[in-house]
Structure 1
Amino acid sequence: MSLADLKAQLPDYAKDLRLNLDSVLSEGGAPGLTNKQIFVIALASAIASRYKPLTAAIAEEAAKHASAEELNGARVAAAIMGMNNIYYRFLHLVEEPEYGTLRAGLRMNAMTNPGGDKIDFELASLAVSAVNGCGKCLESHEKTLRKHGLSAQPIQSAARIAAVIHAVAVAIEQADVAG
């Protein structure tokens, strides 16, 4: 199923999402990002949103804008953040300082060479962290992106892509359930 087919499945009550999806998946609607970055972020966000038809449609479209290695970086971001977001959200929400002194003991080697550009990986990781609701990871990736010279605009664009992709996944999946 193509991205256009999925957009057509959005119910009337979610027409704003259809418009927002078109917007955030374009350079004009995602200021500060390249088409490659937009689709790397969109793919990582779709994976994190866990709706397979949307993930497949985004992957198909993303392949037109990014290399296989760059798209693998999006998959790495979704996978590693799937783990890190749970663990670091636990540290944040429990608010027991002792846990912060303990070794995490989680392998994260993929973060050192995720495939593709480091900035793209950080943007994708930030987007996945937004979908998964991990404040500690959001803070960490935002700081890393700022240290690499990114302004607020492309970082906000990544968060907007994550928000729209997730909302589209929820709306279409709910429409499927409602029949």
Structure 2
Amino acid sequence: HDLIPSNSNLRTLYNSNYFIKFIETILDLKKIYPYADTLSSINYNYYEKNQQLGWHFDNASFAITLMIQSPDSGGVFQYINKGRDFDNNFIDKKLIKSVLNNNYPVNNLSVQPGSLILFYGRNYLHRVTPVTSVKSRILVTLNYNLEKNIKLSENGRLTFFGRLK
């Protein structure tokens, strides 16, 4: 986020009251808030050959992703539409263990360039499988929350960005 120019169209879209209202309407939500984290509210994600993002839950309430470029092979978005209920402080440890041990069926989502996906990553266990082609997987992620002033933990900032600021 902090490396994206303040006058970029992406930042303008992210902060647009019209876009926020559009998302609230689609998701039938009363109010959403931009992610208060200066590193992770807007991200470009590049996955080159052999790169992946392991199973995880998001810190943000939900993300909007826009696929810019799909790899020729690999880089599949996989998810489980169970696993956690953040609002009720519930984690299905048995299910998660089964997923991590490859003993649970997962959903695969084929994402083509131009695909816009709204995803509740806070409650859905998900990952990106290793890219197996020379052609990279490139997407933009816009993160929003149902509560104000949500930020990544320091550990999260170090894990994803290698820095705190």
- Structure with greater proportional helix content: 1
- Structure with greater proportional strand content: 2
Q: TM bucket by the smaller chain?
A: under 0.3
Normalized against structure 2, the TM-score is what?
Answer: 0.26
